[in-house]
């Protein structure tokens, strides 16, 4: 199983689809514009891709403000900078805010009903510390994890 937290438009989801036959894939993407592109991009994947339109966070089922980034990616009208955090990403934000439900990473894993997750990729634009430093977070089912870290 592969879980892509901050799946953007599905680059890594599609890569796993090409490289691993019969892979279970979960793509988490809270940005509504990117989410629509993600749905279109993974529609022809041979593996089943479950899309979760939530923000991974340290608490479940909170309704939070999700700050939409400037639409800059390759002039496609997409944002790579959207974040649950405002202060750390303010220079890259568009000023648009949407309400978004949250989910904990371990809750997401447990909802899948698997014994192990082969890989979690996390790109959450500065929210990695609050997510991963939660002392109650259970990552015992995760074999490998790649995290893009933002230092500011």
Q: Which of 116, 95, 6 is nearest to 57 (CA)?
A: 6
pLDDT at residue number 41: 93
Residue 75, pLDDT above cutoff 60:
no
Rounded distance between C-alpha atoms, residue 86 and residue 69, angstroms: 10
**What band does 128 get if pLDDT is binned at 50, 70 and 90?**
very high
Rounded distance between C-alpha atoms, residue 117 and residue 152, angstroms: 29
Residue whose token pair is 């995290």? 147
pLDDT digits (tens, 9 = 90+) for 7-50: 999 999 999 999 998 999 999 999 998 999 999 999 999 888 99
**What band does 67 get if pLDDT is binned at 50, 70 and 90?**
confident
pLDDT at residue number 140: 98
Report the run of H or E that residue 94 belongs to, with start and end: strand 93-103
Tokens coding 152? 């500011």
Domains of the chain: residue spans and CATH: 2-61+103-147 (3.40.50.150)
Residue whose token pair is 């529609």? 43
Note the pTM of the prediction, 2 decimals. 0.89
Q: Which of 14, 1, 77 is nearest to 41 (CA)?
A: 14
């Amino acid at each position: 199983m592969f879980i892509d937290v901050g799946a953007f438009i599905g680059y890594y989801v599609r890569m796993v689809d090409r490289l691993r036959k019969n892979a279970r894939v979960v793509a988490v993407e809270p940005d509504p514009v990117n989410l629509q592109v993600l749905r279109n991009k993974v529609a022809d994947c041979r593996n089943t891709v479950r899309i979760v339109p939530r923000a991974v966070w340290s608490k479940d089922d909170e309704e939070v403000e999700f700050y939409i980034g400037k639409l800059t990616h390759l002039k496609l009208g997409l944002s790579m900078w959207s974040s649950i955090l405002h202060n750390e990403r303010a220079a890259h934000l568009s000023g648009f805010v949407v309400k978004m439900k949250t989910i904990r990473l371990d809750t997401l894993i447990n909802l899948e009903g698997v014994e192990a997750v082969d890989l979690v990729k996390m790109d959450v634009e500065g929210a990695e510390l609050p997510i991963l430093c939660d002392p109650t977070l259970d990552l015992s089912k995760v074999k490998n994890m790649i995290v893009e870290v933002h230092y500011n």
